[in-house]
Amino acid sequence: MCRLSVNINKIATLRNSRGGNIPNVLKAAIDCQEFGAEGVTVHPRPDERHIRYQDVKDIKPIIRTEFNIEGYPSRDFLDLVKEIKPDQVTLVPDPPGAITSSEGWDTVKHYDFLTDVITELKANNIRSSVFTDTNHTYIEGAKKSGSDRIELYTEPYAIKFIDDKEAAIAPFRDAAIFAGSIGLGINAGHDLNLQNLKYFYENIPGLLEVSIGHALISDAIYLGFENAIRLYLQQLS
C-alpha cells in the first residue's frame, strides 16, 4: 500500500495572500484526514510565505494520521521538528529563497552535515527521508548517512512523461530497485498529478508514500477538495 500525503502549503499561500484565516489551514488538515488521505505534509520555509511555524504547532494536536514535515534542516527548523516530533521529517536542500524544490541532495558533498542532522532526528525517534535524485551514488549516500527513506524528486519524470512514459519512468524504477536493495524505504514527490501518478505507482516497486500538493490543490479548485483527494487515492489503488 502506498500512502497519499497531501501537502497543504498552497492552502496557506492563499490564506496569506489576503490575511485573516480564510481558507483555514487547520480545517484543511482535518479535512485531508476525513476525506481519506493517509498523511498531511507541510513545508515551512524561513520567510513563512505559506505554512508558518505556528501552523505546524497548531496542526500537530489534530493529526490522527501521518504528519510529515519537509524543510531545509536549519537550526530553527530542527528545533521546531524536535518540539513537534512528527512521524517523518523530509530533508530538502532548498536555499532560503527557493520558490520550490528543484533538485535532490548531493549526499556525498553534504554527507557529514546530513549524518549529523539524521543522528539528531533519530535521537528524537523521528523517521528521516532524504530528498534525492535517481543517482545511485546519492541514494547510497543517503543510506550511509543513516536515513530511513529517500524521497525521489519526480519533476524530471513528470516532464518526460508527456512524450515518452517508458523513458520517463526507467531511471526512477531503476533507482527504486537499487534503494530497496540497500534497505531504504521509498517515497516520491514533485509534480505528480492525476495524469502521471497511476503509471508511476504501477512501475515503482516498494513505493511507500507520495506527497502531493500543488497539483491536488489546483485540481480541487475545479473538482472540490474531497473529490480531488478521492481521485488521487484511486490512482494508488
Cell of 78: 530542527
In eight-state DSSP terms, residue 47 is T
Could you state, in order of their start, the residue ranges of all structural domains in the chain?
3-235
pLDDT at 1: 85
Contact call for residues 206 and 175 (beta carbons, < 8 A): no
pLDDT at 99: 53
pLDDT at 101: 63
pLDDT at 198: 98
Per-residue pLDDT of the chain in tens (237 residues, 90 and over written 9): 899 999 999 999 999 999 999 999 999 999 999 999 999 999 999 899 999 999 999 999 999 999 999 999 999 999 999 999 999 999 999 766 555 566 799 999 999 999 999 999 999 999 999 999 999 999 999 999 999 999 999 999 999 999 999 999 999 999 999 999 999 999 999 999 999 999 999 999 999 999 999 999 999 999 999 999 999 999 999
3-235, CATH topology level: TIM Barrel (3.20.20)
Contact call for residues 32 and 229 (beta carbons, < 8 A): yes
pLDDT at 176: 98
Tally of residues, the chain: 237
Active site residues: 43, 70, 190
Element (H, E) at 57: helix 53-59
Q: Which of 203, 177, 178 is nearest to 192 (CA)?
A: 203
pLDDT at 190: 96
